[in-house]
Amino acid sequence: MTTRNMIQAINDAHRVMMRKDPDVVVYGEDAGYFGGVFRVTEGLQKEFGKTRCFDSPISENGIIGTAAGMAAYGLKPVVEIQFADYIYPGYDQIVSEVARMRYRTAGEWTMPMVIRSPYGGGIFGGQTHSQSVEALFTHVSGLKTVIPSNPYDAKGLLIAAIEDPDPVVFFEPKRIYNGPFDGHHDRPVTPWARHPASEVPDDYYVVPLGKANIVRAGEAVTILAYGTMVHVALAAAEENGVDAEVIDLRTLMPLDIATIEASVEKTGRCLVVQEATRTSGFGAELAALVQERCFYHLEAPVVRVAGWDTPYPHAYEWVYFPGPLRMKNALKHVLES
């Protein structure tokens, strides 16, 4: 076991799979020689050569299009979109080609490819470097969408994604690349080295797709979260003395609905947390599913905490971000309803 932050854990997942499978290739803007803007692919070109880890042109539709061709041919591309905000030029390729190939060929062709991208705010990236776009992909049949919240899960989930025969969109919460974030922006950063989930095995292991993790057991309310918001939810439960059960979804599609149902049936209350804008976010889907499947167990309406329906504001980042105060108010609302 080695103590790693999320960058190092994701880097090690690449390395493990590139050693294990010669069909795995890695590329993206600055992903080769420099190792990516966040250094997630650092050292891969040096170890595996320029034919297996290389730089692409600044063309997201080109990155996705070539990856689709490689996957159809039998390779296993793992491509990096430098920021999730830049993924839109490649969206047509993802929706119309990548996600539909298995269906269009009646299962004859698969698309074993992974699209990695850092997403979310909390770093003063402004409107073009802070977006949470996961709902655009969970809506598309044929895609799997993964969002880890810690180094251990990040490595195991990425290995599972690379081995999956279907296309996987793998979003990395960049606010927690170097340490968990409890939502208190005015406090010093806590490094991953102080967190038990930073202990990452050196060798191959898998965290299965479609399996959520109960990171805090409780009886009073179920909190559904993913990515950075898992840590915000945990902190809010502790700070407000709430006996909350916090579920880290890990995979949005496929969704571990069984774990969610069992928890809500036990607690009778549900709070859904997302960093993304509120309207049509994935949290709305979660709230609808809980309402449909757990209606007779609910003692109060499902409550959502989310970002505002605005672009991510640079100057008012911590007003937009669903932090401790909004979590406190939401917990009070769902418990007193």
Collect all residues with Cβ–Cβ distance below 8 Å to 241 and sequence separation of at least 6: none
Q: Is 129 a catalytic residue?
A: yes
Q: Confirm if 149 and 6 have CB atoms less than 8 A apart.
A: no
Q: How far apart are CA 12 and CA 165, in angstroms?
A: 21
Tokens 């774990």 label which residue?
259
Tokens 């539909």 label which residue?
100
Question: Residue 189, Cβ neighbours under 10 Å: how many?
Answer: 12
Could you tell me the two tokens for 213? 């993790």
Catalytic entry in 129, 139, 185, 195: 129
Could you tell me the two tokens for 20? 């294990």
Q: How far apart are CA 283 and CA 274, in angstroms?
A: 6
Question: Residue 319, Cβ neighbours under 10 Å: how many?
Answer: 11
Give all strands of the β-sheet with 53-55 in edge-to-edge order.
53-55, 24-28, 76-80, 114-119, 168-173, 144-146, 251-253
Q: Confirm if 200 and 151 have CB atoms less than 8 A apart.
A: yes
Q: How far apart are CA 309 and CA 203, in angstroms?
A: 43
Q: How far apart are CA 208 and CA 160, in angstroms?
A: 6
Positions marked active-site: 129
